[in-house]
Structure 1
Amino acid sequence: MPDPLSILLKRALRTTSLRCLALGSALLPALAASAQDSPPIPDPGNTPSRRVAPTPAPESSDRFRVRITPGIASEARRLLESNRDARPRLLVLLCENKGRLSGRDPLDAPFLERPQPILSMPITSAMLAEPATFLLGPDEIDTVMVPERLDHLSGGFLARAVLDLGLARGHAATGNPVSTITSVEFAPDRDRTFDLVVDRTRPTVELPTASNLKWIELDSPSITRTLGRPVRHRAGVAFPPAYFDLDAKRRFWPVIYVIPGFGGDHRAATRYAAMLRDPSMRSYLPQAVWVVLDPNDRLGHHGFADGDNFGPRGTALVEEFIPWLEKRFRLVPDSKGRFVTGHSSGGWSSLWLQLQHPDVFGGCFSSAPDPVDFAAFGT
């Protein structure tokens, strides 16, 4: 007799198979219809190629290769190692060789009436070991450029490289190594490497001489001590002709301290000496001793204001330089005989000195000073 459990299992399997067949019969037409509506699978061999946008042509990569000759590099390295706080930079200065700028020395930059391209990179004393060759251009990592690229330039330019040692104010300072002036030609459709050789230093400028003009330099112990490097007071002293009269050898003279504006220095004393010698100017120009001060440091116009960057400039002037001048020359050693004046940044400086040292100066004429009150800047 068959096992009842086996009979039940056979019936269950037969019923399940029939249901699966029925479900399959119902799904097959739907699957077939779905397959007919689906897009055909593409044949890889017949797949059309993708259209790729053409790669744009690379921008112009004009650059300058600057070589510093061994002797110049060695001396520059020695100077930098003895002035650790200097921040030297290698510059390539360009000047468009046409129009009003035609033939101008690129070292005369910046050309405020028509700014010209400048390339710059930082330099260290270690980088001046042989061979000292540097690349400056838009694709060089350390290059800073104004404008950002050279590819928009075309035509002829004059170029000059200068190693600004940072030991005095300005890239054109005496002693900075420079190259000769080189003609270069830019074209947007080609890349070029221009070679410049730094093989000389800026010569010392001889100060002019005159019968009533003296140039003064005096070490400043207080500023030197504060900044940790040698600093000197500088001035040009212009005398009225009567200062040298033998009949007035005991006469003491009032003094006018002149502070030049931004970009000026003590060499402006040459003009005052010439005016004092001119008889036609005696009724216009006060007959006093004119002392034209040098307001410059390696970082710029210091304004004769005491500070961390420039040291105690104002204090050193009134405590070191003025007393020395009054001992060296016949100057009235009293505030009644001291007057201070200046123009632009020098105007600001003169007003500052008068306010900070009212017992030293008896009067001030500040001409077109830099802003002394910022109240109107918010309107």
Structure 2
Amino acid sequence: MLRFLIVTLVLAPVAVAQLVTYDFNNLNGSNPYPFTLLDAQDSWSEETFNATNRCGVTATLSHDATQSLRFQEVGPGFGCDASRINDANFGFPPYVGTETNAYFQADIQVGYWGGSFGLAYDTDLDGRIRGYQPGELGVRFRVGTHANIQLQLIAADGTSVSAPLSSLGPVSGGDWLRIGVTMDLTAANGSGLGAVDVQNITGGATMLTPVPGLQAVPLGLDQTAGNATNPIAWNAVWLHFEGATYGLDNIQIGVKLVEYQVNSPLARMIVDGVVGSISSPATVNLAVGQVAMVSFQSSNAGTVWEVGMGAAPLIPASAGAFLTPDGDLVNIDLADPLFSFLWGGFASPPLANMTVPISFASPTSISGQLAVGDPTSITGARLSQPVRVIVP
């Protein structure tokens, strides 16, 4: 394993993400209800159903005190659709179908009956996207406090998977959530798999975290179709607000930077069942003396293995994590003065897939990442997800 130790000294920095942002800050907005009309501003097309006052642009009512969209009508069947087709003023780069980290994100103010946002295709070339027009809606999310809404990832074929809002911690109407959807367009033989991360902005969360139950969700894609099930065709954004009060801000679309290494069959380390994502690391909070179970697994069982550990926080790719020649991210801080190896540098017994208990007698914070020997790799080892354990 000397090869792995040497290679860690000559790792390459990670490439930057390819994301474009639309924040509504160049639109005209006003705070007095019913706000400034969105329709026809910067190529937005908006249609309101049943209600008198339409979806509008506020001046400072976003969570960041800037312009944002808002719909504030209450009544039976009251709602609005809005869309924007890519043009010279703003557009996201088209997908080619081989992306494994295609991504979209938006900040949404949570209402009751359901607010949706996603990517779309102007199938009939009429310059607008509407939910009632067949074949125009691609992958999207939906959120609402109604018991039948909660948080949903809706596939391009209309199927959906939901998770309770309670899985995110306390969420109430009026709260702002940042919802991100990562899509592997190549997975499941091209029909795609998606994963949802959420940051509760109102609740003070500082980062996106994976939503249990909304990971590896089938996306219903068809790259040969002439409608919005084909991600190569997506050329628009679409939103729908059903009833009051919903808001939207800070759209991001493109290819997501892989911030953190994830587990693979070659190297899996899981503490108390917590699994991270490319956007959010596995973070485990324990009480002093609480027992947690750590699982070490690999399809290369029987080879040497090692766990790098330290006190420093995990490093995302955007803050300087390094990429090995095998494409694995080193998220532990190699410059941490307290960095050490569990086995002194791969002087381990052969790895046996196992689960072992750990506990801490006093407050501490520790980061760790598993490396498993792999003679077929360039570095001689493959890496697991990083894990951060915090004992306050």
Q: Indicate the structure with greater strand content.
A: 2
Tell me if both proteins adopt one fold, taking TM over 0.5 as the criterion. no
TM-score under structure 2 length normalisation? 0.26
Structure number with bigger Rg:
1
Q: Indicate the structure with greater helix content.
A: 1
TM-score under structure 1 length normalisation? 0.26
